[in-house]
Structure 1
């Protein structure tokens, strides 16, 4: 008796999961700027990893404190991070707590050292271009004339 062989179409290949770099990009991007397809993919990643969902919430809350100068909310944020089981974020919080007053001031006050850091970077670039071939006098002239 012949066996009936039915044609079974091959299963559709499983969708390739997003790379860690892509997921990190979605996590660090403001939620309002993500496309709908990226939101859906991120939600599917969160469904498989609830720790990543908690981490994303903490990262976004810290980003909001940083961009909106809300340093007064730092103690509540630290307390919320401590309640979750996220060892790498706990290490970050430990570093923040070492100098909590300075971190709070940096997240609260409108002043920063960005301009000074820009000048330091420019001077270092000029120094690297000279490759150590000239003394301080020439470096000084190039910095003043640049």
Structure 2
């Protein structure tokens, strides 16, 4: 259901559209859908000016999960604003860190740092 609520409505099939309309008939699900779609569009379009009003909408919604999520975003407000306004991301670095951790897990307790270094540097 969560995936259905955040997907682009133009990519939904006829059955999915019908299910979404049924779900949106419920007031709580309708509010969740509206907040989720607003969040997705704000992230994709990087519209930093919508952030404050979206956070306020989450707090007023009465939906505990959105209120908690918004409170977490407020705690690191400067970083969230930067993520929405800056054109670059740390995705490449995070991918390399994930790769290194995977290699370390594969070698757990089997070899020294020198072998780990060679596997990381010479991996094709």
Name the TM-score, length of structure 2 as normaliser.
0.92
Higher-Rg structure is 1
Distance 1:52 1:132 in 2: 49
Mark the runs of 5 or more structure 2 residues left unpaired by the alignment: none
Distance 1:105 1:56 in 2: 25
Name the TM-score, length of structure 1 as normaliser.
0.79
After superposition, the CA RMSD in angstroms is 1.2
**Residue of structure 2 in register with 1:106 after alignment:** 83
Q: Is the 8 A contact 1:96 1:103 kept in 2?
A: yes
Higher helix share: 2
State yes or no: 1:37 paired with 2:20: no
Q: Which ranges of 4 or more aligned residues in structure 1 deviate by more than 4 Å?
A: none
Q: Is the 8 A contact 1:71 1:108 kept in 2?
A: yes
Mark the runs of 5 or more structure 1 residues left unpaired by the alignment: 1-22
Q: Is the 8 A contact 1:72 1:108 kept in 2?
A: no
Distance 2:99 2:56 in 1: 40
State yes or no: 1:46 paired with 2:63: no
58-67 or 77-86, which deviates more: 77-86
Count residues with an aligned counterpart: 123
